[in-house]
Structure 1
Amino acid sequence: MTSEMRREASNSSRDIERLGKAMRKGTRSCYECRRRKVRCIFGGRDSTTCDGCASKGKACIEQRRELLGKSGPESKDSLRERIAKLEAIIEASRSDNNSSIDGAVSDSRLNDDAERPYLGNHSPQSIDPIVTLFDNAIWRRRSTDLTQERSKDIEANPAAAKRTRIRDSLLSSLISSEILGMILNATCSWWHTWRAGPRLFTSVDDLHTSTLQDFVLWALESSDPSIVGLAMLCIAICLQHLDSRVHQFIIRKLPRLPGEIFQDYFESVDRLVLNDPDCASTGAGIEATILSATIHMNLGMHRNCWMLVHRAIAYSHLLGFHRPERLTPSETEAERNCRTQGWLSVCSRDVYMSLLLGLPYAADGRTIPFVESQHNARSLLHHKLIILSVKVIDRNQMGLGLSVSHTDAIQKEIEAATKDLDDTFWNAPAALACGKITQPEYLESISAQCWLHQLLALLHMPLMIHSVEDKLLEKHRIFCLEACRNLLRVHHIMRSDASAAFSMVKLIDYQAFICSTLLILGLLGYGDATHQLTNRDKDRDLIGLTVATLRQASGTVNNPIASQAVQGLETLLSLDSNSCATGSACVDPHARIVVPHIGTITITPGKHITETRSQCLQPAPRPPPEFSLTHNMYDGSFGQVNQPPIMASSNDLGFLSSPRVDEPSIDIDWTSATMPNFENDWAWLNDLNF
């Protein structure tokens, strides 16, 4: 035992001595494994004893020395290094996480871009056409670029400040909310008729447009100056409807006369919104332009109305509203249908005004296929009326107004377009009373009938004027006069509507004047006498009903058109009712009347009146007189190109001058004309019914 203890003690002392001996650099074996010349294997990653030493119950000398060395003063440097490595690992992990997130977002954006060819919320109308070359299946511009540009524009571009400045300017003269609410409640009947149709901007839902009050309150809080301008125009229309006989209490509360406030609102919207391309080239801006054109039309400023509608069509083209396909994949079918119907509404306004004024049109709606309106017979007829009116305008613009073949071809197309319409369309008031159609369908039917009869009258009018010389054209005179009779009946229905749905439409009074004038021409002897005798009494009764309807309409607020039409028609009817005074010299009287929107014209009696008076006084023989329609277009608001088709056709056909040489000269004093100059003077608004 003693020898063994000595041997172990000597071995342990020898081992302790070897602790100070360093192993050669590069070796990884412990002292015992190196002595035994075996491989030093560690079983675990964190193990400090190799397998050989563990099996013999011995400690790894070199591992122990390493552990002992770590507890020495040099371990501080090692800890500092490890902390630095740990910080480096943490920073690397952060960068890896950010790169993975960016990669995921980029992949999702790329996938989203693959599904949407247009970028972000930008529609094709807000991107230059050249940019679309880089948005296709071959290459695509990343939406992050647009996001960065958008944020930079918000910070650097003064567009936001400009919109705020325009909005503040529009609202600076707004009346108090209490008075505004009273005005809207008293004069909101026009909203249900005028604003029931489709809209060109989809930021307004049904909750905001159910009533005029809701729309105005929502629009005045909007940050878009175009929407604010649209609300200001609505308030201006309400001011037009104020009647001193009914709304005297409201008028007394206003800070100024309603006409002055109307002028202020109307001109501020025109200056700040309609004349600013950034505001006018939006959906709401186009809506405001169309509403402003309607106000111009009711004020008798047809030239301004025509130009504003053309401007709205130009902006609609820039925004792509005329395209039948979807503008973006995110556009829903309901939004596309709303945009299509809105575009047709703009086209119909343009074509109708161009047809009435004899001017070219800017858009005809042919980009929209008929299948868009096949679900509704009335909508389909409205679409076809646009196309047929375009053909009449093209015929007149090409100088083919006297072409019988073109006229007959258009007449056949009109008959084909109306042959499938049922009695609920032709007798809309009775159908509405029986509940067969709704109120919107009733309004649509009446409006379509008015347009249809106006189209037929203007289609056959040039040939009607020549029918007095060519008996082969007699059928065109019959067609024209029958269309005039039907239009006057529709005018009576529109003016007698219980809900006053057409009270704001002043243009129908002008159309009634034209059709009544054509019927009076026949009563004065213009045309076939045998055919006139069969309808003479009916025409007198119909004209008398029209005059009574116009007189009633002239009593409403702000309708000088009807009052001028009554004056002109009564003067024309007096030529038919005059009788020769016994013993008096028989001379042809000359009547001077004022035609709405046109000016003063001079009327002499036709062949029928002349022959009747010749039997009474038996004057000396002379060439048979002819009906003479003489008028001069004044320079300024209206030019030769702006006269309506009835006047334009008369000029072209040579019926303005009488063949008699003893015709007295007419000196027309335009300064004393009863029709105000709407284009240059707004003061007349201050005195209307106040």
Structure 2
Amino acid sequence: MEDRRKRSSGDLFETCSAAETANAPKKRKVRKGTLSCWECKRRKIRCTFAALTDAICDGCRSRQTRCISQEFHDEVALPNKKVDRLSRVESLVEQLVNGKERSGMLASGQPGQGNTSAYTSYPNDTQAGLHQPTGTDLNDVDRALIEAWPTQHDLDIILSVPVGVSVLLHGVICKSYSDYFSGAFPSPRQVLQLPSKNSHPVLVARRLLLLASFLQGIPPCFAGQLNGLSSDYKTIMSRVFDIATRLVTSNDELVSSLEGIECIMIESMYLNNAGNLRRAWLANRRAMGMAQMTGLHGNTKSSSMFLDDETRERIDPDYMWFRIVCTDRYLSLMLGLPQGSPEDMFASLHVLDNCMPVERMERLDSIAGGLILQRNTAERTDLAATHKIDKLLQEAAESMPPHWWVGSNLALVAQNNGNGFEESVRLMMQFAHYHLLVRLHLPYMLLPSSINPSYDYSKLTAANASRAIITQYIAFYDIISAPAYCRGVDFIAFVASTTLCLAHIEARPEFENNVTVFRSLQHQRLRDRGLLERLLEIMKRMAVENSDVVARKISSILQPLLDIEDNSFKGSCYQICTAEAEQESHCLGKTSEDSHELRIQIPHFGTIIIERRPQNDTVSQTGNANSSFLQTVPSQGVDAEQAPSWLLDSIPGLELDIEDWALQGVDMALFSNLTGQN
């Protein structure tokens, strides 16, 4: 976080020339550990960041004030032309956002008109004290957005980095994949160009958001090629994203068009790729709400939906609605939140018959995701519902031929052409499909097979799907250097690794003569153990080389789980239970010295405890010699049929410290699913 504070307060200083830097103000001496900005200090509140790459703290972002570290004097001005230019942008942004005239405007409804003067102006409503934006307001917004665009020199340096344009398309494709797989593929230079003069602010904001996504997708190993930039590339990334979201996507009157909805979708993907799944979920929910108001959910189509004729070439309203629903269900599953729309009109028989195979599979998978969310809100262990969804996932998988499921040349992902994009789609869809299988069968992992032998089917399916995810993940990271869209895959890998580890702990029988189908998993133990250890190495490397908080959190849980799995293999038996939250908010996965107990502290959820118990305690507790090695038991003093009261507390706000909430609630949703608590 300290590095991030230095970046956020020092981004202007990096633009100064060597001569001008000499005149810059010196850093103040601050007490060790002081991280808050001046504004947060004055308000005596905690200074937090929603994402590692943010240059502005959450408080200043919500207050829309300047974020200046205490390392520098408050409200200091630098004698620098580039700083003056940035100051003018900041001043204009503050005037537009905080001042008497708030930007925002609906299009006139004439497609193809990009001139801001063509948009209708409304008179002030003096009686109500309201101000409707005028054409002048839109011009001011447009000018502020263009001012934030990097110079041609900086843009040339940015575009010299080998990042494929597929990074810009992930999660925001709003038309058939066939147009991208076989058609001409645009280069990053073609995509990252400002629209024509006097274009609508939404069209300019879209390019800024795409630029932010492109910068986000630059692998750390190529950062050295960007040394010639006037500012650090992460500073540029945060600045253009911040201005586009503050001036455009946060203004409902500006984003009522398909282009505006597309901008919110790009914002959501940016936040998802940054690891901030909760804000991504909120942004996508805003896109869903705006799409519903536009009528996309009801297959409504009108020329007034478009700001520009060229948009028709990349956005099909029906595909846009499906993409929004698909993203919503993915994020809702990851976070354990309810879905926004239960309808599946995008997967009617007529639609599926006209889809290419990969699109058919994607839409069937999306239906399955929605059904899993519905089941989880009712009865997680409803076997009839589970088997129905399982059959649907089998049908979805059969949409693709066998060779599609076999690993191919992953290096194609880095290519900037249709083949590269097709390969990236294949990878992401396989991750998503296997993740759905894990989520579907996860609630049965810790249930004893003596209650129902069919639980073994669910346990094996979850273990096999987890193995497929980890195998694909390792192969991907051994070849590709962390493209932007891999952050979501990191969370999926966390779910898979935890599930597979618990599966092997559960597969150890209490008694040698207790032979079940699930016990056959032991034949895969050594290979699975090798995969998990390799995954742990990747996470530890990411944590060190990239200062990756998410990877550090994952490794802090996976390492002790592997220790417990090893003890389980040697004959120890364990039970899992929950307890109220401990005082130490930064407690991660922590084991006792003899590995008898693992305590996983999840902020605002509580503590998951996996502890060793004597073997002779098993029969006395269950009265059944066929009980599993890993049992779930209720918290002390809590009715097994009732979730603890501390689970009913509200989830914290968006301004929670990234150190406390690095896994964004993915861990909470995972262990809630395992322990059967909503």
TM over 0.5: yes
For residues 190-222 of structure 1, the C-alpha deviation after alignment (integer angstroms, 9 at most, x for no partner) is 545626963489xxx999981222222233756
Which residue pairs with 1:518 in the alignment?
Answer: 499
- Find the structure with the greater CA-based Rg: 1
Which residue pairs with 1:275 in the alignment?
Answer: 250
Which residue pairs with 1:266 in the alignment?
Answer: 241
Question: In the alignment, is the contact (CA less than 8 A) between 1:216 and 1:231 conserved in 2?
Answer: yes
SS of alignment partner, residue 563 of structure 1: helix
From 453, 477, 487, the equivalent of 2:469 is 487
The one-letter code of the counterpart of 2:374 is D
Alpha-carbon distance change, 254 to 466 in structure 1, aligned in 2, over 3 angstroms: same
Shift of 1:403: 0.8
From 141, 147, 152, the equivalent of 1:172 is 147
For residues 524-550 of structure 1, the C-alpha deviation after alignment (integer angstroms, 9 at most, x for no partner) is 346657334222222212212322343
Which residue pairs with 1:573 in the alignment?
Answer: 562
From 383, 388, 395, the equivalent of 2:368 is 388
Shift of 1:554: 4.6
SS of alignment partner, residue 363 of structure 1: coil
The one-letter code of the counterpart of 2:438 is A
Which residue pairs with 1:309 in the alignment?
Answer: 284
The one-letter code of the counterpart of 1:401 is R
The one-letter code of the counterpart of 1:492 is I
Alpha-carbon distance change, 365 to 488 in structure 1, aligned in 2, over 3 angstroms: farther
Alpha-carbon distance change, 162 to 328 in structure 1, aligned in 2, over 3 angstroms: closer
Confirm whether residue 217 of structure 1 aligns to residue 198 of structure 2: no
1:194 & 1:232 partners in 2: Cα distance?
14
Question: In the alignment, is the contact (CA less than 8 A) between 2:542 and 2:551 conserved in 1?
Answer: yes
Which residue pairs with 1:342 in the alignment?
Answer: 320
Shift of 1:185: 2.6
Question: In the alignment, is the contact (CA less than 8 A) between 2:328 and 2:339 conserved in 1?
Answer: yes
Which residue pairs with 2:527 in the alignment?
Answer: 538
Question: In the alignment, is the contact (CA less than 8 A) between 2:600 and 2:607 conserved in 1?
Answer: yes
Question: In the alignment, is the contact (CA less than 8 A) between 1:303 and 1:642 conserved in 2?
Answer: no
Structure richer in helix, relative to its length: 1
Question: In the alignment, is the contact (CA less than 8 A) between 1:227 and 1:284 conserved in 2?
Answer: yes
2:305 & 2:263 partners in 1: Cα distance?
26
Which residue pairs with 1:296 in the alignment?
Answer: 271
The one-letter code of the counterpart of 2:322 is L
Alpha-carbon distance change, 555 to 377 in structure 1, aligned in 2, over 3 angstroms: farther
Which residue pairs with 1:26 in the alignment?
Answer: none
2:260 & 2:300 partners in 1: Cα distance?
23
Shift of 1:170: 2.3
For residues 644-687 of structure 1, the C-alpha deviation after alignment (integer angstroms, 9 at most, x for no partner) is 53222245459xxxxxxxxxxxxxxxxxxxxxxxxxxxxxxxxx
The one-letter code of the counterpart of 1:604 is I
Confirm whether residue 590 of structure 1 aligns to residue 566 of structure 2: no
Which residue pairs with 1:645 in the alignment?
Answer: 669
Confirm whether residue 421 of structure 1 aligns to residue 406 of structure 2: no
Confirm whether residue 449 of structure 1 aligns to residue 455 of structure 2: no
Give TM-score scaled by structure 2 length.
0.61
Question: In the alignment, is the contact (CA less than 8 A) between 2:596 and 2:612 conserved in 1?
Answer: no
Gaps of 5+ in 1: 1-124, 129-142, 144-149, 615-622, 655-690
Alpha-carbon distance change, 594 to 467 in structure 1, aligned in 2, over 3 angstroms: same
Confirm whether residue 562 of structure 1 aligns to residue 551 of structure 2: yes
Alpha-carbon distance change, 193 to 635 in structure 1, aligned in 2, over 3 angstroms: closer
2:677 & 2:508 partners in 1: Cα distance?
15
Shift of 1:345: 1.6
Shift of 1:225: 1.2
Gaps of 5+ in 2: 1-105, 111-116, 124-131, 413-417, 511-518, 571-591, 619-626, 636-643
SS of alignment partner, residue 229 of structure 1: helix
Alpha-carbon distance change, 521 to 151 in structure 1, aligned in 2, over 3 angstroms: closer
Shift of 1:470: 2.5
1:392 & 1:384 partners in 2: Cα distance?
12
The one-letter code of the counterpart of 2:464 is E
Alpha-carbon distance change, 209 to 425 in structure 1, aligned in 2, over 3 angstroms: closer
The one-letter code of the counterpart of 1:495 is Y
Which residue pairs with 2:223 in the alignment?
Answer: 247
Question: In the alignment, is the contact (CA less than 8 A) between 2:434 and 2:468 conserved in 1?
Answer: yes
SS of alignment partner, residue 270 of structure 2: helix
Shift of 1:311: 0.7
Question: In the alignment, is the contact (CA less than 8 A) between 1:356 and 1:644 conserved in 2?
Answer: no
Shift of 1:558: 6.8
Shift of 1:476: 1.6
Question: In the alignment, is the contact (CA less than 8 A) between 2:261 and 2:290 conserved in 1?
Answer: yes
SS of alignment partner, residue 445 of structure 2: helix
Shift of 1:360: 1.6
Identity, % of aligned pairs? 17
Question: In the alignment, is the contact (CA less than 8 A) between 1:198 and 1:339 conserved in 2?
Answer: no
